[in-house]
Amino acid sequence: MGRLQNKVAIITGGSRGMGRGYCLRFGAEGAIVAVVYRARADAAQEVVDAITAKGGRAKAFQCDVTKPAEINVMVEAVVAEFGGVDILINNAGLYLFTPLEGTTEAEWDQQLDTALKGPFFCAQAAVPHMKARGGGKIINIGSIFGEDGFPGSSGYCASKGAIKQLTRSLCLELRPFNIQVNTLSPGCIETDLNKEYREESEDFTRALQERFGAGNPWLQPEEMAGTAVFLASSDADPVTGANVMVDRGYSAY
C-alpha cells in the first residue's frame, strides 16, 4: 500500500520539471494521477507511460490554466475518468524576465494568470469534488522568490508572494470541509523554466551570485517530491495554511 493509495491527484504542469517528479512519485505511492499539460502532449504521455509501466494508473489532460473555462472542462474530465478528486497540486508555471521598462501587458498577464489566477480557478473547480469526498488537499507551488525580490522579476516574485496569501485565505475558508491548503516553496531547481537564463544570461548569474554567494543553491526536480507526498498524505492532516520551504536553507539567511 502506498501512502496515497487510490487518491485521485490533479497535478498541473505535470509534463515536465518538478511536476513530472510529483506525478512519478505520486504514481509510485498508489495515487491515480491526472497529468495536466498545456502544449507538450508528448512529454505528458511519457509521464503517463512511466507510471502505467510500473502498474500505476494515470492519464494526460490538456488544459491552459490561464483559462477558467478550460479548467472546468479538465476537472470534469478527470472526475468522469477517475470518479472524483482528492488532491490538487497547482504547479503549472513559467518564469518571464519582466524588467519594469519594456515588459508588455501581455507578458505581465501571462505571468500572473499562470501563477495566480490559474491556481484560484483550479481550486474553484476541484473543491466541490473534494467536499463530495469528505476532504482533500491543495498544494500551491510558491518559490524562494515569494520571500526574496529578484532583479527583473517583479511579476514572478509578486505572483509567488501572492500565492501564500491565496493559501492562507483558502485554508481558513476550506477548513470546515476538511480540506487542507498549503504552499510548497522550492528553492532553485534545475528545470526548463530557468535553463535559458542559467546557461545564457550573465545578469541572471550575477544576481544569483549576489544572492547566494559562493554556495550552490541548485536542487534537482526529484528532490521536491517527498515533501509533496507528505503534504498530500494523512500525516499532514494538521498542517494547513503553511508555507513549506524546500531550498536547502537558503531562505534562512
Catalytic residue positions?
156
Find the shortest distance in angstroms from Cβ 99 to ligand NAP.
18
Nearest to 10 by CA among 91, 95, 94, 64: 91
Listed in sequence order, the DSSP H helices in the chain are 17-28, 41-53, 68-82, 105-112, 118-133, 154-174, 192-200, 202-212, 225-232
Q: Is residue 72 part of the contact set for ligand NAP (CB under 6 A)? A: no
Residue 180 cell numbers, joined: 487542507
Interface with ligand NAP in residues 109-138 (CB under 6 A): 114
Cα–Cα distance for residue pair 84/136, rounded to 1 Å: 11
Window of 46-54, 63-71, 130-138, 232-240 that interacts with ligand NAP by CB under 6 A: 63-71
Interface with ligand NAP in residues 150-209 (CB under 6 A): 186, 188-189, 191-194
Residues in the chain: 253
Cα–Cα distance for residue pair 67/166, rounded to 1 Å: 18
Find the shortest distance in angstroms from Cβ 1 to ligand NAP.
28
Window of 10-18, 51-59, 173-181, 201-209 that interacts with ligand NAP by CB under 6 A: 10-18
Which of residues 17, 27, 56, 155 is near ligand NAP by CB under 6 A?
Answer: 17
With residue 237 as reference, give the H or E element that holds it.
none
Cα–Cα distance for residue pair 8/26, rounded to 1 Å: 10
Find the shortest distance in angstroms from Cβ 177 to ligand NAP.
25
If one counts every other C-beta atom within 10 angstroms of the C-beta of residue 7, the result is 24
Q: Is residue 69 part of the contact set for ligand NAP (CB under 6 A)? A: no
Are the C-beta atoms of 34 and 10 separated by less than 8 Å?
yes
How many chain residues bind ligand NAP (CB under 6 A)? 31
Interface with ligand NAP in residues 90-109 (CB under 6 A): 91-94
Which of residues 12, 153, 167, 182 is near ligand NAP by CB under 6 A?
Answer: 12
Cα–Cα distance for residue pair 244/199, rounded to 1 Å: 28
Interface with ligand NAP in residues 21-60 (CB under 6 A): 37-40, 43
Nearer to ligand NAP, 66 or 167 (CB): 66
Binding region for ligand NAP (CB under 6 A): 12-13, 15-19, 37-40, 43, 63-66, 91-94, 114, 141, 143, 186, 188-189, 191-194, 221
